[in-house]
Structure 1
Amino acid sequence: MNTPFTPETVLTSNAPLINTQRLWQSLMDLARIGATPKGGVCRLALTDLDKQARDLFIQWCEEAGCTVSVDAIGNIFARRPGRDPSRAPVMTGSHIDTQPTGGKFDGCFGVMAGLEVIRTLNDLKLETDAPIEVVVWTNEEGSRFPPCMMGSGVFAGKLDLADTLAKQDERGLVVGEELQRIGYAGSRAVLGHPVGAYFEAHIEQGPILEDQRKTIGVVMGCLGQKWFDLTLTGVEAHAGPTPMHLRKDALVGAAQIVSAVNRIGIESQPHACGTVGCLNIHPGSRNVIPGEVKLTIDFRHLHADKLQAMVDQLQQAIDATCQQHGLGYQLTPTADFPPLDFAPECVNAVRQGAAQLGLSHMDIVSGAGHDAIFIAELGPAGMIFVPCEGGISHNEIENATPQDLGAGCAVLFRAMVNVAVG
């Protein structure tokens, strides 16, 4: 494109402006690094494959005229300068590490969409007042090293750098040493960086947009999460000689708790989820009454009071079940993320961008965790969702169309320009 654009013409244009084919090609090129036979990607954090993907991202950003820096937890920042260097940057990004059987788009779309925003600004010869930054956050998935959202958590001061660098994977390999090994233990400080605004584009990872036939999800916020480990303790006994009415069967109690978690989730709508994801039975013999069962419980809700009410109902169900079956129990909290409302100015910028482009859109909430949750602690933040086929993610068959991805990137472009000028 040779015609100079102004922010005003960009924000009033109903043309996409971004290059959908270029965005798609970048995603496909990135997906070759760690490609799996089923069409997905296995690129775990801080592996050699992660290094290759990071190197490619930096190459592309430098070719686009960006200055690149890396902080002590390995987060990568690619900056396009603005007319006013004193302004805090308008940021976008996500992650490029994947699940062991991950897809091409989870996280990667947000990073490549940010790169496409910079490339489009270059094509249009458009200067912004505030700098633009695209970020690759380290280890969002947590597949290899716990916890998830590691890089953004350290950047936001929610996770301690020293503690995080000391985390180990199942083989005993250490985050800090692996960062050094792949050359991404950066010199930039992790704390104290201002955030003018942050936008994150992402596939929905759920079926709502596809079901409602909408192209853009205007993300209002993220569900709060409370996770627990529950151990139920009964008495192991022979399955033949022990009468039913004299048993202390931990698995029967667990079955009632599983049913209660599901019921609580259903009765707490809208925006509620209740899940038992893991069940461990001891001793695990076909002719022994289970004496101990360990299970995980995951509750989510958009409103803090409703989320706590779900926990209160769980406690009542556990007490009643254990009393009925003569069981003991231990309930241990393992995670607590409060519900998050994204900044109205960012939400409105996304909604206005979708409307300007004539794209079908709807308000939506995120049921999953994203780096935007932590960055929202530092400045105004928002998210953009696009549909994924069947709502399937964290799966090698994860899929999204070039058209939907391009639409999401076009909205991201407008939202960022809207904030970065004036």
Structure 2
Amino acid sequence: MSSLQPQINIARLEKLLDDFAQIGKTKNGGVTRLTLTSLDKQARDLLIQISQSAGFKVQVDAIGNIFIRREGLKDLPVVMTGSHGDSQPKGGRYDGIYGVLAGLEVLLTLNDYNIQTNHPIELVMWTNEEGSRFAPAMMGSAVFTGKLDLDQAYAIKDQDGITVKQALEDIGYLGNAKIANQSIKAIIEAHIEQGPILEQQNQTIGIVKGAFAQRWYEVTLTGLAAHAGTTPVNMRQDAVVGLSESVTALNRLALHPDSKDIRLTVGMITVSPNSRNVVADHCFFTIDLRHYDSELLANFETLIYAQLSEIAEKLNLKLEIKKVLSMPSIHFDLNCITSVRKAAIKNNYSAIEMVSGAGHDACHLSSIAPTSMIFIPCIKGISHNEAESITTSWCKAGADVLLDTLLELSQ
């Protein structure tokens, strides 16, 4: 065993990131690599090729999650790391894949220094974290943790009617490894922050103590279609007016000081009949609601229902609200958080504790094993965007902290 203090190879890590960024590269420097497509297959194949060449054991489970194991000296519970390789349409080149390749770099570094850990370390590339082709998001980790039934996941279809199972078969990643029941000591996921806090506060490492609770709603307002030229404005049941008043009212609620920085987004809107000279009789929109305090979120839900009901009644519209997702806030493991903090201090990186506003595979995984996350900044907080970017120093810092965190947990 080497007596040298191991150091990650930043040149190799950046080369890995650049190589994977070529798979699905967009003209503006981002990535479109939707889950279970031929491009996703290319990224998976490359990861496996590098891992097998380094002597690591590779297995694929029934939902296509890829498990890459560096064996330990003893038959002990595994220490896991990893993230996802799929992207949003015209997404960034670091979201998800940074955590996979930083984990791979850690395993390669341990090989470089001939360091043997007591516990095995397992790198995982989780299937369909983004949910942009198949909903729900975080599918691979949901199946792995038993939160989503495998057959139910298999039956989910994309917009072209292709099922998840067919897509797995098409790219050759319908695996059969039985991994879900193995004993896990800890799980650490590295990821870009996807927000501006670390950069704004001039911090290098985010020690993630949990994740926001999330609730999603689908709202339908139904009025009466009418001729744009012959129907007086004060005699209309205009669903678009209801939509505009609803969005404005919701934004006002979210900005209220009592809302304590709640995150509310109306992200999808459809209008019918969507004709320039017809008063709309139907509007559909979605609400994405997030906060770390689940009780505050529940109270805010009551305000949403009351506000939308008031608007619908005033405009003589029929209102339907359907809650389609309810995820509690996530509180990560204190020992894992402490390990990340110690690694940041050891490497002399500035760090703050923070809560993730985004969902990650780690959120599902925390239900079955001690878990935490490591965040690094991204420039201007931009993510899910072709302009997503990180610096070399941030890239190295995240991998350094991941290396020392995994070393402590695996010894």
Q: TM-score range by the shorter chain?
A: over 0.9
Determine the C-alpha separation between the residues in 2 that align with 1:172 and 1:254.
30
Q: Tell me how far 1:230 sits from its aligned partner.
A: 0.5
Aligned equivalent of 2:133, options 144, 156, 174 = 144
Look up the match of 1:13: none
Please give the residue correspondences for 1:349-364 in structure 2 after superposition, counting only pairs within 5 Å.
Answer: 349-364=339-354
Determine the C-alpha separation between the residues in 2 that align with 1:52 and 1:337.
33
Look up the match of 2:182: 193
Look up the match of 2:371: 381
Q: Tell me how far 1:301 sits from its aligned partner.
A: 0.6
Q: Tell me how far 1:271 sits from its aligned partner.
A: 4.7
Look up the match of 2:198: 209
* Structure 1 contact 221–365 (Cα < 8 Å) conserved: yes
- Secondary structure of the structure 1 residue equivalent to 2:13: helix
Determine the C-alpha separation between the residues in 2 that align with 1:38 and 1:123.
35
Using a 3 Å threshold, how does the CA distance of structure 1 residues 170 and 241 change in structure 2: closer, same or farther? Answer: closer
Determine the C-alpha separation between the residues in 2 that align with 1:328 and 1:207.
39
% identical equivalent positions = 46
Look up the match of 1:393: 383
* Structure 2 contact 2–115 (Cα < 8 Å) conserved: no
Determine the C-alpha separation between the residues in 1 that align with 2:321 and 2:398.
42
Look up the match of 2:393: 403
Q: Tell me how far 1:240 sits from its aligned partner.
A: 4.0
Look up the match of 1:52: 42
Look up the match of 1:226: 215
Determine the C-alpha separation between the residues in 1 that align with 2:250 and 2:343.
39
Look up the match of 1:296: 286
Summarize deviations over 1:265-320 as a string: whole Å, max 9, x none: 22354452011112222222333332221111111010110111110110110121
Determine the C-alpha separation between the residues in 2 that align with 1:217 and 1:130.
26
Aligned equivalent of 2:165, options 148, 158, 176 = 176
Determine the C-alpha separation between the residues in 1 that align with 2:17 and 2:306.
48
Using a 3 Å threshold, how does the CA distance of structure 1 residues 181 and 283 change in structure 2: closer, same or farther? Answer: closer
Determine the C-alpha separation between the residues in 2 that align with 1:251 and 1:26.
48
Using a 3 Å threshold, how does the CA distance of structure 1 residues 359 and 269 change in structure 2: closer, same or farther? Answer: farther
* Structure 1 contact 264–274 (Cα < 8 Å) conserved: no
Q: Tell me how far 1:63 sits from its aligned partner.
A: 2.3
Summarize deviations over 1:352-382 as a string: whole Å, max 9, x none: 2112211111122111111101111110110
- Secondary structure of the structure 2 residue equivalent to 1:374: helix
- Secondary structure of the structure 1 residue equivalent to 2:323: strand
Determine the C-alpha separation between the residues in 2 that align with 1:177 and 1:246.
51
CA RMSD of aligned residues (A): 1.7
Determine the C-alpha separation between the residues in 2 that align with 1:263 and 1:365.
24
Look up the match of 2:251: 262
Determine the C-alpha separation between the residues in 2 that align with 1:283 and 1:30.
43
Summarize deviations over 1:193-213 as a string: whole Å, max 9, x none: 322111111011111111111
| Unaligned ranges ≥5, structure 2 | none
Instruction: Determine if the alignment matches structure 1 residue 272 to structure 2 residue 259.
Output: no
* Structure 1 contact 90–197 (Cα < 8 Å) conserved: yes
Q: Tell me how far 1:152 sits from its aligned partner.
A: 0.7
Look up the match of 1:322: 312
Summarize deviations over 1:224-278 as a string: whole Å, max 9, x none: 1100110111222333443443332222222221122212322354452011112
* Structure 1 contact 152–374 (Cα < 8 Å) conserved: yes
Determine the C-alpha separation between the residues in 2 that align with 1:247 and 1:179.
50
* Structure 2 contact 255–261 (Cα < 8 Å) conserved: no
Look up the match of 1:68: 58
Determine the C-alpha separation between the residues in 2 that align with 1:236 and 1:147.
33
Q: Tell me how far 1:75 sits from its aligned partner.
A: 0.6
**What is the number of residues matched between the two proteins?**
410
Determine the C-alpha separation between the residues in 2 that align with 1:285 and 1:48.
38
Look up the match of 1:336: 326
Amino acid in structure 2 at the alignment position of 1:68:
V
* Structure 1 contact 266–273 (Cα < 8 Å) conserved: no
Instruction: Determine if the alignment matches structure 1 residue 4 to structure 2 residue 3.
Output: yes
Q: Tell me how far 1:216 sits from its aligned partner.
A: 0.8
Summarize deviations over 1:30-59 as a string: whole Å, max 9, x none: 112222222122222112221121111112
Amino acid in structure 2 at the alignment position of 1:106:
D
| Unaligned ranges ≥5, structure 1 | 11-15
Determine the C-alpha separation between the residues in 2 that align with 1:351 and 1:270.
27
TM-score with structure 1 setting the length: 0.93
Determine the C-alpha separation between the residues in 2 that align with 1:239 and 1:182.
51
Aligned equivalent of 1:124, options 90, 113, 120 = 113
Moved over 4 A (4+): none
* Structure 2 contact 129–361 (Cα < 8 Å) conserved: yes
Aligned equivalent of 2:238, options 227, 231, 249 = 249
Amino acid in structure 2 at the alignment position of 1:100:
P
- Secondary structure of the structure 1 residue equivalent to 2:210: strand
Amino acid in structure 1 at the alignment position of 2:104:
L
Look up the match of 1:35: 25
Using a 3 Å threshold, how does the CA distance of structure 1 residues 271 and 94 change in structure 2: closer, same or farther? Answer: farther
* Structure 1 contact 271–302 (Cα < 8 Å) conserved: no
